[in-house]
Amino acid sequence: MTSTVAPKVPDGADPHDSGDPGDPRDPRGLRSGAPLLDAWLRASAAGSGDAARMSIPGHKQRPDLTGAVVAGDIPLYAGLDTVKHADAVLAEAEQRAARLWGADWCRFSVAGSTHGNQALALAVGRPGDEVVVSRTLHRSLLLGLVLAGLRPVWVRPEVDPASGLPRAVPVAAVLAALAEHPGARAVFLGDPSYVGTTGDLAGHAAAAHEAGVPLIVDAAWAAHLGFHPSFPPHALAAGADAMVTSAHKALPAWTQGALVLARTDRLDPARLDRAFEATHTTSPAGTILASIDAARELLARDGEALSGRLLAAVAAARARLAAVPGLAVLDGPDIEPGKLVVLLAGTGAHGHRVEAELIAAGMPVEMADRDTVVPIVTLADEPEHVAQFTDALVAAIERHRSTPRQPAPGLVWGLAPQVVLPPRDAFFAPHETVPADAATGRVSAELVAPYPPGVPVLAPGELVTADIVAALRAVLADGGRVAYAADPSLRTLQVVSEPVRSDPSGAARQ
């Protein structure tokens, strides 16, 4: 994302003026309903090179040292407002977001849904407690379990045999997990999934509430849901008690901007605050926060119209792509209608080759593996750009068309890991580095995930199997990225030193 260098206030203008309706820095006049955006516009109007400023940021808004890279950066404290008052402006903006999503607690994060997931993990239960969690969770939640010392009871989505992609986690799986683990303190699910499959969140909420626990939803990709009648309701509207969503993914907000929203019938608001603050910076970027506020005001005002445009663009792209021989798209009532997921197997084209062409054409996509391409279409996309992209995609596929094949079942979606130690025990256990082949039969000390989607294939505490090592190596050999392993070549893996022991206090000992 680019930022503009803050223009100087025109001579004679009041830098505290609350808004020029024709201000090109706020083309839709959102500032009147967005207090943090208003504060950012005022602060940035004060201009650069404020030599008398004796507070951070260290760049002091000077463009002549590190240059344009710091342009637009204004902290919340002593930036958007004074150190003593900025909290109040932030709280007002967060309350507006809470109202929009029907929550009674909301915080803006400058550290993505990663931070939100970890905050929510820290907000339930005590170390050693169990929680029901989808195994297709993002790595951030798994590390949240490590931080909080929670023990996962895994539930898994069904996998569609035709595409190898996940459907939703069945409500029956959550009901069974809650029945088998009556002490579980919460249910954590991801919805929609990375590939846009959606599940019965109302059914999950009923199951969780029947067991007296909150349903917490990672909706990282779904900040736009609920703002058009053709979209499914967002997680809170479907009955969830909390959700995290990345404003920077689905909405026009700065990278890292995210919201954590909750209804506090089953969650303690003070605990939520403590958990949120525990892992958030004390110096949040006001620019990121103001962009979340602006995106929230945009959704409130124009959400339905922009969503309608997105829906039409995606529907047109799906229709165009589905008409190409051998090519398929995910579609149907259980697929988020704003998501475009392209299935290549029937064309024989390899996703990495197709992706490389798209990158060369200046049209990078979010994810590509051999059988799947996932472009992200958002409220910011004009239909003609989506159509141009679709043409480029079809042309690239045609250039790489080959013998149709069966899709490989997605490595991360069907995993049934053998858990030997709780994630926290394994994370803190003494470990050793061994050749990957010798790691088979040992307990992983590290988290290894093809990225995207960032769903761990190996998590701390899980048994390393020959199949998993082979499958991870196959991802690398096929040109995919395998992230977070201490040895990115996967020649070695880090395993828990033997003998492996679990400690109920949360730290494994030798």
Ligand X SMILES: Cc1ncc(COP(=O)(O)O)c(C=O)c1O
| Residues binding ligand X (CB under 6 A) | 112-114, 117, 138, 140, 190, 194, 218, 220, 246, 258, 453-454
How many C-alpha atoms does 213 have within 13 Å on its Cβ side?
Answer: 27
φ and ψ at residue 508, rounded to 5 degrees = -70, 145
CB of 222 to ligand X, least distance (A): 9
Residue 412's Cα: distance from chain center in Å?
Answer: 17
Give helix then strand counts, H and E, for the chain.
14, 15
Q: Exposed e or buried b for every residue in 110-130, given b needs 16+ CB within 10 A?
A: bbbbbbbbbbbbbbbbeeeeb
Are 187 and 208 contacting, i.e. CB atoms less than 8 angstroms apart? yes
Residue 133 CA, distance from chain mean position:
16
Rounded Cα gap, residues 36 and 43, in angstroms: 10
Amino acid at 234: H
Number of other CB atoms surrounding residue 285 within 10 Å: 22
Q: Tell me the chain's radius of gyration from C-alpha atoms.
A: 24
Question: Which bin fits 275, alpha (ψ -120 to 50), beta or left (φ > 0)?
Answer: alpha
Kindly state the helix (H) or strand (E) to which residue 482 belongs, with its residue range. Answer: strand 482-483
Q: Least distance (Å) from ligand X to the CB of residue 319?
A: 27
Write down the least CB distance from residue 247 to ligand X, Å: 9
Residue with tokens 């503009």: 4
Name the minimum Å distance from CB 256 to ligand X. 7
419: part of which helix (H) or strand (E)? none
Residue nearest to ligand X (CB): 112
Query: Do 371 and 348 contact (CB within 8 A), yes or no?
Result: no
Parallel/antiparallel/unpaired status of strands 449-450 and 482-483? antiparallel
| Residue closer to ligand X (CB basis): 190 or 337 | 190
Beta carbon nearer to ligand X, 113 or 444: 113
Q: Do residues 154 and 414 touch, judged by C-beta distance below 8 A? A: no
Give the 3-state secondary structure of residue 468.
helix
Minimum gap (Å) between residue 312 Cβ and ligand X: 25
Burial class (CB in 10 A: 0-12, 13-18, 19+), 393: buried
Residue closer to ligand X by CB (options 114, 198) is 114
The angle, 0 to 180 degrees and rounded to 10, between the axes of the packed helices 201-210 and 171-180 is: 20
